[in-house]
Amino acid sequence: EAIKQNNNETVLVMINSVCGCAAGSARPGISLALQNDIIPDRLYTGFAGQERDAVDRIRELIGNQPPSSPSVALFKNGEIIHMMHRQEIEGRMPQEISNDWRKLFDEKCEKKGPSISPEQFEKVMHAKACGSKIPLYNE
């Protein structure tokens, strides 16, 4: 419901996925972007295929945008300011994605960043395997 609020706050919403472009590009790119000096006021995510109700609600609020996972959207006062779809993520390096979002954060957001300290960020390890290649757990 934070997406719909008319309070001049920016809300970043990511529809996450188990695909390789989410693991290798989207998640690390957005994480890096959130190290910017200016970031969105609120951060939310829903995991496609896992959190169906949450993702369905996000897609409902996104409106006439085509379903896409992964995807990332920035909202302000219930309106989409910018949306990055899967086809804009695939084949791109995390730094490229981060650069796009950092520019947008600088233009549209006001909250002081980063989202976590640089020391904490250095410890973050992104899994870079496609979900279809993750081995099953054997009991």
Q: CA–CA separation, 52 vs 119, rounded Å?
A: 34
11, 12, 19, 72: the catalytic one is: 19
Higher pLDDT, 79 or 106: 106
Residue 80 buriedness (CB in 10 A; 0-12 / 13-18 / 19+) = middle
135 belongs to a structural domain: no
105 belongs to a structural domain: yes
Strand 10-16 vs strand 71-76: parallel, antiparallel, or unpaired?
Answer: antiparallel
Active site residue 130: no
Active site residue 21: yes
Domain that holds residue 35: 2-130
Q: CA–CA separation, 70 vs 17, rounded Å?
A: 5
| Model pLDDT for residues 22-74, shown as the tens digit of each residue | 888 999 999 999 999 999 999 998 888 788 888 888 888 888 888 888 999 99
138 belongs to a structural domain: no
Structural domains counted in the chain: 1
Q: CA–CA separation, 116 vs 1, rounded Å?
A: 24
59 belongs to a structural domain: yes
Q: CA–CA separation, 35 vs 32, rounded Å?
A: 5
CATH assignment of the domain containing 12: 3.40.30.10
21, 34, 89, 109: the catalytic one is: 21
136 belongs to a structural domain: no
Q: CA–CA separation, 19 vs 26, rounded Å?
A: 10
| Model pLDDT for residues 75-92, shown as the tens digit of each residue | 999 899 999 999 999 999
26 belongs to a structural domain: yes
13 belongs to a structural domain: yes
137 belongs to a structural domain: no
